[in-house]
Structure 1
Amino acid sequence: MDLNIRGLGKAFGGTVALHPTDLTVRQGSFTTLLGPSGCGKTTILRMIAGLETPDMGTISMGEEVIFSGPSKRVVPTHQRGFGMVFQDFALWPHMTVFENVAFGLRAGKRTSKIRETVMEALDKVKLTGMHDRYPHQLSGGQQQRVAFARAVAITPRLVLFDEPLSALDAVLREDMRVEMMSLVRDLGLTALYVTHDQIEAMSMSDEVVVMNSGRILQSGTPEEVYGEPSDAFVARFIGKSNWLVPDHTMFRPEHLLWDRTGEDCHSFMVEITHVSYVGERYELRVKAEGHGEQWTAYHHTRLAVGTKREVYLPHHRLHHLVESK
């Protein structure tokens, strides 16, 4: 079943958190809401979960309406059949791992074969043998696995992720990203994931929904929103972008070439103003003659600051769009 929201809106006091919004999350897909803090992505997630009440619109799962402003229908959170993984894990410190995972099952009065269900969920997240431990006896990554096991133990129709990896260190976050994505796919779950981290969004998602100021600006595959941004904010927020002002024409740093190819190219004389070593390559800031903005470029060796070089940009790598108002 697809999740459908139509005309969903929310304001807190006089501040609009979400303008009337439409969104469809396809069954079996991994969809990510991506945007800066305050863009409305968490507000959408909490309204879907039933933790916030929308001011308007409808939310449905397949043919089942779980919220309707016009008909004043509100299905309680515990009856929606959704799992949720929170940013701060939200584990009960006085409960064992087993009881934390069993919490949703007991709340939903699904106590038949509860031990078997809990142990199976723990096995899926690689926590076999840890059911008697308490949260404080686990690492951050293990606590996150417990939170995920609790979400999937109820066999949810949809799993909601509220920036679940932000509390982890960088190395563990990358490992958990791969594990979480694999588990979602292996279990055939439908997932809606909220993050401000573009790497998480681009690497995990079937569809990325980019938001800003309470509105959806663009949705599409990671390749589409990166390669063909429809909005200047999207182009700047996802990856690095170089701009030919004032024409609102952009290109990505990796498309700026140091050697001429057989393609039709624009050429620019640039001066290198800054060089950073980032591991697999050098990241350079360059100033092009006749252009006000500095650009980002990549090179496989260190070039000296002050060096002037001719660079080339294939015509087909330019992307034209309209600046956001």
Structure 2
Amino acid sequence: MDLNIRGLGKAFGGTVALHPTDLTVRQGSFTTLLGPSGCGKTTILRMIAGLETPDRGSISIGDEVIFADSSKRAVPTHQRGFGMVFQDFALWPHMTVFENVAFGLRAGKRTTKIRETVLEALAKVKLTGMAERFPHQLSGGQQQRVAFARAVAITPRLVLFDEPLSALDAVLREDMRLEMMSLVRDLGLTALYVTHDQVEAMSMSDEVVVMNSGRILQSGTPEEVYGKPSDAFVARFIGKSNWLVPNQTMFRPEHLMWEPMGEDGHSFQVEITHVSYVGDRYEVRVKAEGQEEQWTAYHHTRLAVGTKTEVYLPHHRLHHIDKSK
């Protein structure tokens, strides 16, 4: 069943957190709300979960309406059948792993096969044998797995993720990202994921929804929002972007060539202004004649700062941004 929100809006006092918004999350998809802090993405998630009450609009899953301002309908959080994984894990410190995972089942009035269901959920997240431990006896990654096991134990119609990896260190975050992707797909779940991390969004998602200032700016596959951004904010927020005067045409750093490739395009005289080693390549800043902003390019060897050279840009790599939108 698809999740549909229509005209959903929310303000806190005199501040609009979410302008009237439409969004569809397809059944079986991994959809990510991506944007900076304060863009409205967590507000959407909390309204879907029932933790915030919208000012207007509707939320439905399949044919079932779970919120509608027009009819004053609002299904309580525990009756929506959604799992949620929080940024801070939200585990009860006085409860064992088993009881933390069983909590959602008991809150939903489940009375049968609780032990079987909990142990099965723990096995799915590779925590077999840890049911009697307490949260303080687990690593950060293990605590996150408990939170995920609790979310999936109720066999949710939708799993909501509120920046679940941001509390983990970089190496563990990458490992957990891969595990979470695999589990969501293996279990056939529908997921709505909130993050400000573009790497998470681009690597995990079937669809990325880019937000800013309480509005959805663009939605599409990771390849679409990266390769064909419809808005200047999207172009700058996702990856690195270079701009041609008058700042309505952009291209990505990997598309600036150091040698002519026999393609139709443009050539520019540039001066190397900065070089950074980033592991698998050098990130080079260049100042092009006649251009206001410096550009970023990539090179396989270290170039000397101050070097003047010529670079090439294939015409088909240019992408025009329509500022009238």
* Interval of TM-score (by shorter of Structure 1 and Structure 2): over 0.9
Q: Which amino acid aligns with 1:278?
A: V
Residue of structure 1 in register with 2:150 after alignment:
150
Cα deviation, 1:93-116, whole Å, max 9, x if unaligned, reads: 000000000000010011210000
Residue of structure 1 in register with 2:297 after alignment:
297
How much has 1:247 moved relative to structure 2?
4.3
Going from structure 1 to structure 2, the CA distance change for 1:324 and 1:235 (only over 3 Å counts) comes to farther
Q: For 1:123-272, list aligned pairs within 5 A.
A: 123-272=123-272
Alignment partners' CA distance in 2, 1:94 and 1:297: 53
Q: For 1:44-193, list aligned pairs within 5 A.
A: 44-193=44-193
Alignment partners' CA distance in 2, 1:111 and 1:144: 26
Alignment partners' CA distance in 2, 1:203 and 1:304: 34
Alignment partners' CA distance in 2, 1:207 and 1:165: 19
Alignment partners' CA distance in 1, 2:215 and 2:188: 29
How much has 1:322 moved relative to structure 2?
2.5
Q: Which amino acid aligns with 1:132?
A: E
Partners of 1:232 and 1:324 within 8 A in 2: no
Q: Which amino acid aligns with 1:168?
A: L
Alignment partners' CA distance in 1, 2:255 and 2:117: 51
Alignment partners' CA distance in 2, 1:308 and 1:21: 49
Is 2:285 aligned against 1:285?
yes
Alignment partners' CA distance in 1, 2:86 and 2:292: 44
Partners of 1:263 and 1:314 within 8 A in 2: yes
Alignment partners' CA distance in 1, 2:243 and 2:283: 17
Alignment partners' CA distance in 2, 1:65 and 1:219: 24
Cα deviation, 1:243-290, whole Å, max 9, x if unaligned, reads: 012141000000000010111120001100000000000001100011
Q: Which amino acid aligns with 2:310?
A: E
Partners of 1:233 and 1:324 within 8 A in 2: no
Residue of structure 2 in register with 1:311 after alignment:
311
Q: Which amino acid aligns with 1:233?
A: F
Cα deviation, 1:90-145, whole Å, max 9, x if unaligned, reads: 00000000000000001001121000000000000000000000000000000000
Q: Percent identity?
A: 90
Alignment partners' CA distance in 1, 2:238 and 2:64: 35
Instruction: State the TM-score, normalizing by the size of structure 2.
Output: 0.99
Alignment partners' CA distance in 2, 1:47 and 1:75: 11
Partners of 1:274 and 1:284 within 8 A in 2: yes
How much has 1:323 moved relative to structure 2?
3.6
Alignment partners' CA distance in 1, 2:204 and 2:324: 27
**What SS does structure 2 have at the residue aligned with 1:257?**
coil
**What SS does structure 1 have at the residue aligned with 2:121?**
helix
Alignment partners' CA distance in 2, 1:196 and 1:73: 31
Alignment partners' CA distance in 2, 1:206 and 1:324: 28
Alignment partners' CA distance in 2, 1:207 and 1:170: 24
Is 2:32 aligned against 1:32?
yes
RMSD over aligned Cα, in angstroms? 0.8
Give unpaired runs (5+ residues) of structure 2: none
Alignment partners' CA distance in 1, 2:172 and 2:272: 35
Partners of 1:270 and 1:289 within 8 A in 2: yes
Alignment partners' CA distance in 1, 2:311 and 2:111: 67
Alignment partners' CA distance in 1, 2:153 and 2:272: 55
Alignment partners' CA distance in 2, 1:177 and 1:101: 21
Alignment partners' CA distance in 2, 1:149 and 1:53: 27
Going from structure 1 to structure 2, the CA distance change for 1:294 and 1:55 (only over 3 Å counts) comes to same
Alignment partners' CA distance in 2, 1:132 and 1:300: 52
Give unpaired runs (5+ residues) of structure 1: none
- Residues 70-79 or 315-324, more deviating: 315-324
